[in-house]
């Protein structure tokens, strides 16, 4: 019998989301998990009675856990289906995308590959920074969570899916690193754009260039990035 939600998110979201979910199902048990170790420690009997919800976390849920869940797992991804994988806001701005948003999907063994439940998009504002775009995506996902909470908390059947499909290119940390490796022949306008998007040291990786046996890193603060973008 479905009576448990395993909530994989940050501490700030946990308390708010727990109150929301239990408002729709007062008998519901909500288990907080924050790390892969927390997931590994869950007993099979808990998993068999549970649905897992992952909200904007980088923690990977193992295939073993997914297979033991009795009522499925759903992820709130901070990006539209066109940008599966890591750092979607960075890649969207780098590619000068016109739209961004959030995606809710069933979790599968492969990251950001499960059937899509819901999508919400918005236009990308001119000159928005990476942090600004991330904040908009986060707000969008919170609104989506509020909308889906009654079903997630009470419905035993799997959530219905939509016809949307994930983008072909699944961005990774390696792809991020490759973009940040600046060629000596890069044009000034392309260098400026690259540093505006990737110069905030996300992943501990910054745009860098090799010259005469040395490696030079270009790092700007989020505040500087936002100011530069606003002035462009």
Residues 25 and 74 in one domain: yes
Residue 163 lies in a domain: no
What's the CATH number where 146 sits?
Answer: 3.40.50.12230
Residue 200: both structure tokens together: 């905030």
Residue 161: both structure tokens together: 């899916």
| Domain span holding position 80 | 4-154
Residues of the chain with pLDDT under 70: 219-232
The reported pTM is 0.89
Dihedral Cα 91, 92, 97, 99, nearest 10 deg: 170
The sign of the torsion formed by the CA atoms of 228, 229, 231, 232 equals: positive
| Number of domain units in the chain | 2
69-92, pLDDT tens digit by residue? 999 999 999 999 999 999 999 999
Dihedral Cα 143, 102, 135, 193, nearest 10 deg: -160
117-151, pLDDT tens digit by residue? 999 999 999 999 999 999 999 999 999 999 999 99
Closest CA to 53 of 71, 26, 27: 71
Determine the 3-state secondary structure of 216 from DSSP.
strand
Residues 84 and 52 in one domain: yes
Q: How far is residue 219's CA from residue 125's CA, in Å, rounded to a whole number?
A: 23
Q: How far is residue 30's CA from residue 18's CA, in Å, rounded to a whole number?
A: 6
pLDDT for position 218: 74
Q: Which of 154, 185, 208 is the last residue of a domain?
A: 154
pLDDT for position 231: 45
């Amino acid at each position: 019998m479905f009576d448990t939600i395993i909530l994989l998110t940050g501490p700030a979201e946990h308390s708010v989301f727990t109150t929301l979910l239990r408002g729709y199902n007062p008998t519901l048990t909500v288990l907080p998990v924050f790390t892969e170790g927390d997931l590994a420690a869950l007993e099979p009997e808990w998993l068999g009675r549970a649905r897992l919800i992952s909200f904007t976390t980088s923690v990977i849920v193992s295939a073993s856990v997914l297979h033991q869940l009795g009522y499925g797992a759903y992820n709130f991804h901070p990006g539209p289906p066109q940008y599966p994988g890591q750092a979607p806001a960075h890649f969207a701005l780098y590619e000068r995308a016109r739209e961004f948003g959030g995606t809710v999907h069933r979790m599968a063994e492969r990251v950001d590959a499960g059937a899509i439940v819901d999508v919400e998009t918005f236009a990308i504002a001119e000159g928005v920074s990476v942090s600004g775009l991330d904040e908009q995506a986060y707000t969008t996902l919170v609104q989506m969570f509020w909308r889906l909470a009654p079903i997630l908390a009470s419905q035993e059947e799997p959530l219905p899916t939509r016809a949307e499909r994930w983008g072909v290119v699944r961005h990774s940390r390696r792809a991020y690193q490759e973009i940040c490796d600046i060629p000596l022949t890069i044009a000034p306008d392309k260098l400026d754009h690259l540093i505006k998007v990737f110069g905030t040291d996300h992943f501990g990786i910054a745009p860098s260039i090799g010259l005469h046996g040395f490696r030079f890193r270009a790092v700007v603060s989020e505040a500087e990035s936002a100011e530069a973008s606003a002035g462009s």
